[in-house]
Amino acid sequence: MAPQTTSEVWDSRWSSTRRTIDPKVIDNIFEPYNVINALRKRGMQMVDGGGKEIQVILESSSGTAEAFDKYDPLSKSPRDPFESAFYKRRYYAIPIVLSDTEDWENSGAEQIFSLLSALGDNAMNSLLKTINEDACGSQSGKKMLGLQDLIADAGTGTVGGINSGTSTFWQNQSDTTTKTFLAQTTTNIFDGVEEFNTVMDSVRKQGGRTDAIITTYSIAGAYRTALTSQGYVELNGTKLNGLNGQEFPGFMGAEIVADNDISGGKAYFVDKRSHQLRVMKNANFKKTPFVSLQSNGQLGQLSYMVAGVQQITNNRRRLGVHTNLTGI
């Protein structure tokens, strides 16, 4: 038998060697959406039935009790110590479209991964991406309220239809002092830690309790550096030891939540009893049934991943923000 030519050797190798294809689609675009995940998973999400608006009844004023003796005349004036905040529902949707030809080709022994499942995962992640961005920002158009609305830099503004300029009980806590987190104006005390304490104390004086500090990776990193330098935590390679091994150890009982969508320099102090992500039951991050596109003269199926959400507060004075921290 005549020896194989070089070309024949390579042809043989090509025919006998197939690609090793990972059956899983690898995410190269999405980030961790920590704010929306924190709201959904840490007791700050509430699923409700419906209605065009969410009404929250607020106790907005107090009376003055009278000291009296025997038959002293007492006040008979009626009081109305209540006020309501109203929040409109906001809706988000992203399509899932699959042509019949793609479905036919992505089946049987030739199927490497479930195209439909991958499209569904991409749609859900895309939905979370948009909602996370809006939850961290400020409202415009048909978008939901963001942290910048509920916990305003100046502490003021109109939220839920209530003007905090005239209803001063509806102002959030705010600290606009410019500070570098790792600077030490006072010996052995980091300026950033002092500022965290200042805002938390302001919240605490209003009866609030900060459950989460939502901030940038830069500020969260500076906070971790401050703890590490003082020996409160120990970094062993990439593993964090101490304080339950969290990526960013908590502060005074509050979880540190870092997110790329938070504006630079800001740290939001959130009380889960006063701050909620409200989700409509029938649009709770769910997929609508697929419908045929044949009426459009196309062979394919269409569905939407939908969410009916709004970010609300029932007590702004128990929420706080620091607006000017420099991290690392």
The whole-angstrom separation of Cα 93 and Cα 320 is 31
Cβ–Cβ < 8 Å for 54, 228: no
Question: What was the pLDDT predicted at 10?
Answer: 40
At 247 the pLDDT is 64
3 belongs to a structural domain: no
Residue ranges in the chain assigned as alpha helix (H): 6-16, 34-41, 100-105, 115-136, 147-150, 191-205, 217-229
* Contact of 268 with 172, CB cutoff 8 Å: no
275-280 and 45-48 strand pairing: parallel
Does residue 68 lie within any of the structural domains?
Answer: no
For 163, the 3-state DSSP assignment is strand
Under a CB-based contact definition with an 8 Å cutoff, are residues 279 and 233 in contact?
A: no
Number of domains in the chain: 1
Statement: the pTM of the whole predicted model exceeds 0.95: no
The pLDDT assigned to 80 comes to: 80
Grouping H, G, I as helix, E, B as strand and the rest as coil, residue 23 is coil
- Has residue 42 been placed in a domain? yes
- Of 241, 268, 73, give the one whose Cα is nearest residue 151: 268
Q: Are 166 and 70 in contact (CB under 8 A)?
A: no
Nearest CA-CA partner of 321 in 250, 269, 271: 269
The tokens describing 33, both together, are: 């959406």
Residue 263: CATH number of its domain: 3.90.1690
Please answer whether residues 25 and 113 qualify as being in contact, where contact means their C-beta atoms are separated by less than 8 angstroms: yes
Residue 228 lies in a domain: yes
In a domain, 115, yes or no: yes
For every one of its 328 residues, what pLDDT tens digit does the chain have, with 9 covering 90 and above? 667 654 444 444 334 444 444 556 565 656 778 999 888 877 788 998 888 899 999 988 888 888 999 999 999 888 888 899 999 999 999 999 988 888 888 777 666 567 788 888 899 999 999 999 999 999 999 999 999 999 999 999 999 999 999 999 999 999 999 999 999 998 888 999 999 999 999 999 999 999 999 999 999 999 989 888 765 554 444 444 434 445 677 888 899 999 999 999 999 999 999 999 999 999 999 999 888 898 989 898 899 999 999 999 999 999 999 999 999 8
pLDDT at 59: 85
Within a domain: residue 1? no
Angstrom distance (rounded) from CA 171 to CA 159: 10
Whether residue 10 lies inside any domain: the answer is no
Give dist(CA 319, CA 313) in Å, integer. Answer: 9
| Domain contains 300 | yes
SS (H, E, C) 91-126: EEEEEEEEEHHHHHHCCHHHCCCCHHHHHHHHHHHH
CA distances from residue 250 to 94, 224, 276, 326 in whole angstroms, order as listed: 35, 9, 21, 19
Residue 220: predicted pLDDT: 94
The DSSP 8-state label assigned to residue 186 in this structure reads B
**What is the distance between the alpha carbons of residues 32 and 311, in angstroms, rounded to a whole number?**
19
- Please give the residue range of the domain that contains residue 220: 34-59+83-167+178-326
With H, G, I as helix, E, B as strand and everything else as coil, classify residue 322.
Answer: strand
